[in-house]
Amino acid sequence: MKFVLATRNSHKAIELKRILEELELDCELLTVSDFPGAPEVEETEDTFEGNALLKARALANFTGLAAIADDSGICVDALDGNPGVLSARWSGATENIDRANLELVLEQIKGVPPEHRGAKFVCAAVAVFPQGKELVAVGEMFGNLLDAPTGENGFGYDPIFVPTGFTKTTAEMSASEKDSISHRGLALKDLALKIKG
């Protein structure tokens, strides 16, 4: 079976491939870059699940193959659950986007005491098949935010996020360590089980 991953984010594509390969799904994984002319899908839904389904449906329709997509983000308690589905576009920046988003969140929680810096990463992972079948899985990782970035691994908000029960950020963890606890790892593990049926 062939699946196409509905993402143009190279960091995310690497992570999705790595996690799915470890789950031993018996399939070939392709990416959007294998399909020139694939549609750019605007994330217009107000839920992670809704945006993931938009992307997967469009790609399944375009390629005729089963598509796997995810939408994920960080929900910060002190920001009333924001940036949420706007995590990748929070700052409105067009260059150095990850850094600009992270710096804006740090600025917005400046002065918030450590005990009120709770946050969670959420991921909705979906598989959409050409014949119309759709599978949805959701993963969450809870933790707290630091007041300055630490660590070189990961991407996005990883350098300021310390998962509950840990003393280092997800940007300080190895890929396998992060995958075993991350929102994306949990969602994809559940999705893989549903695909295997």
List, by residue number, the catalytic residues. Answer: 71
Residue with tokens 């699940």: 49
- As beta bridge partners, residue 144 has 118, 162
Q: CA nearest 16: which of 184, 186, 192, 190?
A: 184
Burial of 10 (0-12, 13-18, 19+ CB in 10 A): exposed
Instruction: Tell me the residue length of the chain.
Output: 197
Q: Which pairing describes strands 2-5 and 28-31: parallel, antiparallel, or unpaired?
A: parallel
